[in-house]
Amino acid sequence: MPKQSPIPDEVDQGFWDACNEDRLVIQNCTACDRLQQPPMATCYQCSSGASLEWKQMSGRGFIYTYAVMYDTPVPLLFEDQPFNAAVVGLFDDNGDDSGIKLLSHLPGTPLDDVPMDAEVMVEFEVTKGTGQKVPEFRVVG
Q: Site residues (CB under 8 A) for other proteins?
A: 3-7, 9, 12, 36-38, 44, 64-77, 82-83, 85, 87, 99-105, 112, 116-117, 127-130, 134
Q: How far is the CB of 18 from other proteins (least distance, A)?
A: 15
Nearest to 85 by CA among 19, 39, 137: 137
Nearer to other proteins, 108 or 129 (CB): 129
What's the min distance (Å) between Cβ of 52 and other proteins? 16
How far, in Å, CA of 141 to CA of 136, rounded?
16
Q: For other proteins, give the closer residue by CB, 116 or 140.
A: 116
**71 versus 96: smaller Cβ distance to other proteins:** 71
Query: In angstroms, what CA-CA distances link 108 with 113, 119, 138?
Result: 11, 13, 7
As measured in angstroms, the least distance from the Cβ of 93 to other proteins is 17
**Which lies closer to other proteins via its Cβ, residue 51 or residue 83?**
83
What DSSP line would sit under 47-77, residue for residue? --STTEEEEEP--EEEEEEEEEESS-S-GGG
Residue 104 C-beta: closest distance to other proteins, Å: 7
Q: Are strands 83-91 and 25-29 parallel, antiparallel or unpaired?
A: unpaired
| Phi and psi torsions of 19, nearest 5° | -55, -40
